[in-house]
């Protein structure tokens, strides 16, 4: 049984429609916890395209999207099951993701995900045992025990004041806490192409400074996070 946390807004609806079609083929019990800043528009789209099965849409307010940190914390707080899958609406399975993860329940698993080029072709591997293989923060598609996420208090909300480094910080605190994880290259997905840009001027620098502060102070359990 899986709680799949997928923050969503209107700019990822078309990608999620493809992703959901794949997940719906799996017989495993699952719920999609989907925090959104665009509840009305997303609800209407889900209704039109019949995407409501197993979905729990949770509205939250945020003027400028800087990071999925808040949405991930909201998702985990509302999760029914102990196996938490962290991913994104645009990350579509290439292999039988849920049947594969079901065999690994109880372990923390980061899966191999490929980037999709703008022309639709499959690009580089974004995470594997050699590239980024020591970082549990590379959760393009990952399964974590809810109890382990709680041990580091989830994602640090201070990163909402900047842009990026929230995943790097999550992985660094995870490792400092001594929590186990593994890379599984046989479980594969594709990160569907979308434009990338910095949403707050100077956001990278602010987030980097906070990441360095957490590192220098050996923070594992962030002060402002899940709980």
CATH code: domain of residue 197: 3.90.550.10
Residue 96's pLDDT band, with cuts at 50, 70 and 90, is: very high
pLDDT higher than threshold 90 for residue 37: yes
Strand pairing class (182-191; 109-116): parallel
Average pLDDT over residues 128-139: 95
CB neighbours (10 Å) of residue 127? 24
The pLDDT of residue 212 is 98
Cβ–Cβ < 8 Å for 28, 54 = no
Number of structural domains found in the chain:
1
Alpha helices in the chain (DSSP H): 13-23, 39-48, 69-77, 97-102, 146-151, 166-176, 203-216
* Cα-based angle 176, 88, 49 (whole degrees, multiple of 5): 160
Residue 194 maps to a domain: yes
Strand pairing class (30-36; 2-5): parallel
pLDDT higher than threshold 70 for residue 197: no
The pLDDT of residue 199 is 64
Residue 182 maps to a domain: yes
Please tell me what DSSP assigns to residue 114: E
Residue 196 maps to a domain: yes
Residue 7's pLDDT band, with cuts at 50, 70 and 90, is: very high
Residue 225 maps to a domain: no
111: tokens are: 């899966």
Residue 227 maps to a domain: no
Least confident of 19-23, 28-32, 104-108, 131-135: 131-135
Q: Radius of gyration over alpha carbons of the chain, in Å?
A: 17
Residue 103 maps to a domain: yes
Burial classification of residue 130, based on how many CB atoms lie within 10 Å of its CB (0-12 exposed, 13-18 middle, 19 or more buried): exposed
Residue 224 maps to a domain: no
Range of 58-67, 84-93, 196-205 with top mean pLDDT? 84-93
pLDDT higher than threshold 90 for residue 70: yes
Q: Which structural domain, as residue segments, surrounds residue 151?
A: 2-216
Residue 215, SS3 per DSSP: helix
Residue 149 maps to a domain: yes
């Amino acid at each position: 049984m899986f709680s799949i946390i997928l923050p969503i807004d209107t700019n990822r609806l078309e990608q999620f429609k493809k992703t959901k079609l794949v997940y719906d083929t799996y017989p495993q019990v699952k719920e999609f916890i989907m925090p959104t800043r665009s509840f009305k528009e997303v609800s209407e789209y889900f209704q039109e395209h019949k995407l409501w099965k197993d979905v729990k849409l949770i509205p939250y307010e945020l003027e400028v999207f800087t990071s999925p940190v808040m949405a991930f914390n909201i998702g985990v707080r509302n999760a029914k099951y102990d196996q938490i899958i962290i991913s994104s609406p645009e990350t579509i399975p290439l292999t039988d993701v849920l049947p594969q993860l079901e065999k690994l329940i109880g372990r923390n698993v980061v899966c191999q995900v490929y980037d999709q080029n703008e022309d639709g072709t499959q690009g580089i591997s974004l995470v594997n045992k050699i590239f980024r293989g020591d970082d549990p923060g590379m959760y393009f598609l990952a399964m974590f025990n809810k109890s382990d996420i709680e041990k580091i208090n989830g994602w640090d909300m201070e990163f909402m004041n900047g842009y990026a480094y929230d995943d790097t910080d999550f992985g660094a605190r995870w490792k400092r806490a001594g929590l186990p994880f593994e890379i599984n290259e046989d479980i594969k997905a594709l990160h569907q192409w979308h434009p990338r840009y910095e949403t707050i001027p100077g956001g990278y620098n602010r987030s980097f400074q906070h990441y360095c502060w957490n590192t220098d102070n050996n923070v594992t359990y962030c002060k402002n996070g899940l709980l």
